């Protein structure tokens, strides 16, 4: 059995997934930007908005590139671009250089997005092993999570011992190795249909129209979006809080790893949690309340214990909560419109974060605790005012 799922060509996919999930810099990203790079928190969020903008633009042609020049080359070049960007990122503490690197990262992510899954699926199909795809993709995800956890822990240790920019430089190593391994994968003769160039204005138009006419989906999407925004800023605000409390950089990765492990635990037990709270509605309401309370708690009583609760419990709950809501959103979307509607929801999230990010960063530069308190009002608003009801969650797929 082990040989079946880990032998042959699959070991290359597993190894590449593991290596490309090792991002040493994530554990100390905010100190890297602010202490080594000299950026304000507002500038940090501008770099992220810049990345989102270019990822949005670059996603249009990259599917065509992958189909025309082979998907393995698209994925391998994407991994290599991340390695190159990491080397530049860790060598030049300059805002302009950081923006250039985010541009490269956006191209890289667009090159990899979709092409890696297509390459693996068609390889399985060519080997007459399509029925194994669910298990194989599950294992790919598992080794990716393992790589991410190892990367965060190792990253903080590297930063503490060698400097804040070294984890960024070191990130180039696993991505270069991943690129080499992907390059050696045999491109399957089977080819998916040629990718269509996406018309994002048309996607947005269809998505807005669908939301306007389907109240239940609109409730779920807004509920999810608000808490996703809170989760996003939690990830960016907890590291400055740890810095203010004097927590050594060495421990940053362990804290982030604990959040990831708790997120995995929660995501694996949604059914149990819904039963524990009495219903899916009750769990979603209470999870929003818990996240909001943890934001306010750490803002009013900042100490190591409250920050740990904030990150490990609040971070895991808020991120995993969006995964659960997406399963319910899919019940309201007809199959033939699923890709379009989900794309529009994703676009809405990215646009919202790109617009609000610099503003929240500016606020955090002036009052970190005040900003955390303000962001914490978002999940509390969902708890208090969201019209989400159990019947919305149980409603069957619409056909309109």
Cα 327 to Cα 347: distance, rounded to the nearest angstrom: 18
Closest CA to 360 of 374, 341, 346: 374
Share of the chain above pLDDT 90, in %: 46
At 251 the pLDDT is 96
Q: What is the model's pLDDT at position 206?
A: 65
d(CA 28, CA 242): 11
Looking at residue 211, its pLDDT comes to 65
Query: 317, 252, 322: which is closest to 289 by C-alpha?
Result: 317
Tell me how far apart the alpha carbons of residues 318 and 147 are, in angstroms, rounded to a whole number.
Answer: 22
Q: Examine domains 10-183 and 200-394 and report if their fold is the same.
A: yes
CB 332 within 8 A of CB 395: yes
User: Residue 244 has what pLDDT?
Assistant: 95
Domain 200-394 in this protein, CATH class: mainly alpha
- Mean pLDDT over residues 218-224, rounded? 80
pLDDT-derived band of residue 11, with 50, 70 and 90 as boundaries?
A: confident
Model pLDDT for residues 74-120, shown as the tens digit of each residue:
888 999 999 999 999 999 999 999 999 999 999 898 787 766 666 77
User: Residue 70 — very low, low, confident or very high, per pLDDT cuts 50/70/90?
Assistant: low
* CB-CB contact of 310 with 297 (8 Å): yes
What angle do the packed helices 10-19 and 133-162 form, to 10 degrees? 30
What DSSP designation does 34 have?
Answer: I
Yes or no: say if 333 and 211 are a contact pair by the CB < 8 Å rule: no
Whether 76 contacts 182, CB under 8 Å: yes
146-182 per-position pLDDT tens digit: 899 999 999 999 999 999 999 999 999 999 999 999 8
Q: Are 254 and 273 within 8 A, CB to CB?
A: no
Average pLDDT over residues 290-296: 96
55-59, 218-222, 262-266: least confidently modelled range? 55-59
Does 353 score more than 50 pLDDT? yes
**In the chain, domain spans:** 10-183, 200-394
Question: What contacts 162, CB < 8 A, 6 or more positions away?
Answer: none
Q: Is the pLDDT of residue 250 over 70?
A: yes
312-347 pLDDT, tens digit each:
999 999 888 877 887 777 777 766 566 567 667 777
Ranking 6-15, 59-68, 357-366 by mean pLDDT, the lowest is 59-68
Is the pLDDT at 274 greater than 70? The verdict is yes
Query: What single string gives the DSSP state of each residue in 130-183?
Result: GGGHHHHHHHHHHHHHHHHHHHHHHHHHHHHHH-TTHHHHHTHHHHHHHHHHHH
pLDDT band of 5, cuts 50, 70, 90: very low
Angle at alpha carbon of residue 166, lines to 161 and 168, rounded to 5°: 140
Once rounded to an integer, what is the mean pLDDT over residues 38-53? 95
**Which of 34 and 4 is assigned the larger pLDDT?**
34
Residue 161 burial (CB count, 10 A): 10
* pLDDT exceeds 50 at position 399: no
Residue 264 to residues 146, 284, 288, 305, 359, Cα–Cα distance (Å): 11, 17, 18, 22, 31
What is the CA angle 39-80-163, rounded to 5? 40
The long-range contacts involving 377-381, CB below 8 angstroms and separated by at least 24 positions, are 377/292, 377/295, 378/226, 378/227, 378/229, 378/230, 378/292, 379/226, 379/227, 379/230, 379/288, 379/289, 379/291, 379/292, 379/295, 379/318, 380/288, 380/289, 380/292, 380/293, 380/296, 381/226
Considering the segment(s) 10-183 as one domain, its CATH architecture is Up-down Bundle (1.20)
Question: What's residue 340's pLDDT?
Answer: 62
Coil, strand or helix: which one is 84?
helix
pLDDT score of 375: 96
Write down the pLDDT at residue 49.
95
CB neighbour class for 372 (10 Å; exposed up to 12, middle 13-18, buried from 19): buried
pLDDT at 203 (0 to 100): 58
Cα gap 353→49, rounded to integer Å: 7
pLDDT in tens, 202-216: 655 666 677 667 777
Mean pLDDT over all residues of the chain?
A: 83
């Amino acid at each position: 059995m082990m040989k079946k799922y880990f032998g042959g060509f699959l070991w290359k996919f597993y190894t590449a997934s593991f290596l490309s999930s090792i991002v040493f810099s994530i554990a100390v990203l905010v100190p890297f930007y602010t202490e080594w790079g000299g950026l304000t928190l507002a500038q940090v969020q501008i770099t992220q908005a810049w990345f989102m903008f270019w990822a949005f633009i670059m996603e249009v042609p990259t599917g065509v590139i992958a189909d025309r020049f082979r998907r393995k080359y698209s994925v391998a070049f994407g991994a290599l671009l991340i390695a190159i960007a990491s080397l530049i990122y860790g060598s030049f503490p300059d805002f302009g250089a950081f923006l250039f690197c985010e541009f490269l990262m956006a191209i890289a992510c667009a090159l990899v997005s979709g092409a890696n899954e297509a390459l693996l699926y068609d390889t399985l199909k060519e080997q007459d092993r399509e029925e194994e795809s669910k298990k194989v993709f599950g294992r790919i995800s598992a080794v990716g999570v393992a790589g991410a956890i190892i990367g965060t822990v190792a990253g903080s240790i590297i930063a503490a011992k060698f400097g804040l920019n070294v984890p960024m430089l070191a990130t180039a190593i696993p991505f270069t190795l991943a690129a080499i391994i992907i390059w050696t994968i045999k491109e399957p003769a089977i080819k998916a249909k040629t990718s269509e160039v996406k018309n994002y204005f048309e996607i947005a138009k269809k998505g807005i129209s669908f939301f306007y006419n389907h109240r239940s989906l609109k409730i779920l999407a807004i509920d999810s979006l608000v808490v996703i925004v809170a989760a996003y800023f939690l990830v960016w605000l907890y590291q400055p809080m740890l810095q203010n409390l004097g927590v050594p950089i060495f421990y940053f990765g362990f804290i982030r790893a604990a959040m990831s492990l708790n997120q995995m635990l929660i995501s694996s037990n949604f059914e149990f949690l819904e039963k524990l709270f009495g219903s899916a509605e009750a769990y979603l309401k209470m999870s929003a309340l818990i996240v909001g309370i943890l934001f306010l708690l750490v803002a009013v009583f900042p100490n190591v214990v409250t920050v740990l609760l904030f990150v490990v419990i609040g971070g895991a709950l808020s991120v995993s909560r969006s995964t659960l809501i997406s399963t319910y959103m899919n019940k309201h979307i007809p199959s033939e419109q699923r890709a379009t509607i989900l794309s529009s929801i994703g676009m809405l999230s990215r646009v919202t974060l790109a617009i609000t990010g610099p503003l929240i960063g500016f606020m955090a530069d002036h009052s970190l605790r005040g900003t955390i308190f303000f962001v914490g009002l978002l999940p509390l608003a969902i708890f208090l005012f969201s019209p989400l009801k159990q019947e919305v969650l149980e409603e069957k797929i619409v056909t309109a």
